[in-house]
Amino acid sequence: MIKKWAVAGLLLLSPLALAGCWDRKEINDVAFVIGSSVDKENGMYRSALQIALPGNLGGAGSKGGGGGTSGGKSYYLESKTGITLRSANMEIQAGNSRNLSFSHRRVLLIGEDFARDGIAPMLDQFARIPQNRLSSLVAVTSGSAYKILDAAAPMEQFSSEMIRELINEFTKRPDSLKQLVNTLMTDGVDVALPYLSIQEAVPPGVGTSKNNIQVTGLALFDEDKFVGALEGQEGKIINLAMNQAPSPDIIVDGPGGKGHISIRFSENEAKLKPVVRGNDITMTIEIYAKGAVYENDSNSIISDEHSLRDLERRASEEIVDKVQLAMRSLQHKYNSDILGFGRSIYENDPKAWQRFKGNWKKAYPEVRVIVKPELHIENIGAVGKPFGRKEIRND
């Protein structure tokens, strides 16, 4: 009888051990941070947080494009300053009725003024607090980062989502917070991040003035300090040499210098091959690419074998010239080893790297760079001759 009462008592008490919701947080008590930025302002950290507004995320009666039933923004942006990034975020928390949650953050934007002073000091809080999302993508902004975080994103609900998609289109393997830290801790390679700016979406004087966010190049670092940016064609071609360009476009002059031919290389790969002889280093950048002609506004037919081989030759020369020009900027103007020449030497010849490791910043500008492209144009499109032209020639 006593045994039966003991078993019955244990069965009655066992549900108490299953009470696992004692520390629960209702979703109505949480503010989801979907994007954040950090700037320097008068020696202080300025933190800005983009917080989702669930009530304005669309649904019945919404106006689309991210607008809610009132047609308002689908997020709320708040910015405060503090002596550390954590204290700035705590100032923001002090003015919010919901608990800030960073587990859904998509992007972290760093203002260029902040980045010039070094980004390493701010990274501690991201690793120290497990809730922080280390997969958040990182970019540097031209000017204040919080202004870009609050810029219009007409195709997305949040500017942070638009920025995330732009970064994924710009590079094969975008740098997350985790990858950024790994690069900073690796010898023989410097950090390169997407460089964002606000550009005019329509020409001045045409309709209502509109601006848009764009990835305009690569932000360059020397160790953890921002030293400048490669923009335009230089940024795109170095992205190709870094093996980071998803589908780069190359524009070459038409035969005889008349018109232009645009080629997109949807398949591409770049490899580094170092050769060390004493104190002399030669780095060969081998670029393999397959592509198609996307536009031909020249007056020449390019469908025969001879024309295609000539086009591949001229595209190769264009890549060599552009990569060499960009490398001169990297080596002599910025002294930023974003391609990882030093890391490549270490991987191929660890003993040689030990000789250069302590003096790499002086050795890097003296590295001789050879560019060897191997290009194949496999498709000229649906038409063989320039479409819509009467007079054509086969050069």
Q: 226 with 252, same domain?
A: no
Q: 166 with 276, same domain?
A: no
Q: 362 with 283, same domain?
A: yes
Q: Which two tokens stand for residue 90?
A: 């705590």
Question: Any idea what DSSP says for residue 254?
Answer: P
Q: 184 with 285, same domain?
A: no
Cα separation of 38 and 48, whole Å?
A: 7
Q: 204 with 278, same domain?
A: no
Beta strands in the chain (DSSP E): 30-41, 44-52, 75-82, 99-101, 107-111, 137-141, 192-200, 211-222, 225-231, 249-253, 260-277, 280-296, 368-379
**Residue 332, domain CATH:** 3.30.300.210
| CA 85 vs CA 49, 90, 110, 126: distances in Å | 12, 9, 12, 10
Evaluate whether residue 188 is within a structural domain.
Answer: yes
Per-residue pLDDT of 298-307, as tens digits, reads 777 777 788 8
Evaluate whether residue 114 is within a structural domain.
Answer: yes
Angle at 175 between CA 170 and CA 177, to 5 degrees: 145
Evaluate whether residue 2 is within a structural domain.
Answer: no
Query: Of 230, 256, 280, at which residue does a domain stop?
Result: 230
Query: Of 230, 261, 294, at which residue does a domain stop?
Result: 230
Q: 270 with 128, same domain?
A: no
Q: 197 with 251, same domain?
A: no
Evaluate whether residue 241 is within a structural domain.
Answer: no
pLDDT of 60 higher than 70: no
72 versus 334: the higher-pLDDT residue is 334
pLDDT of residue 57: 59
Evaluate whether residue 32 is within a structural domain.
Answer: yes
Evaluate whether residue 238 is within a structural domain.
Answer: no
Q: Which domain covers residue 344, as residue numbers?
A: 247-395
Per-residue pLDDT of 269-295, as tens digits, reads 999 999 999 999 999 999 999 999 888
Give the confidence band of 70 by pLDDT, cuts at 50, 70, 90: very low
| Number of domains making up the chain | 2
Across 5-19, 59-73, 192-206, the highest mean pLDDT is recorded for 192-206
pLDDT of residue 155: 80
Q: 193 with 50, same domain?
A: yes
Mean pLDDT of 69-91: 82
Evaluate whether residue 15 is within a structural domain.
Answer: no
Evaluate whether residue 224 is within a structural domain.
Answer: yes
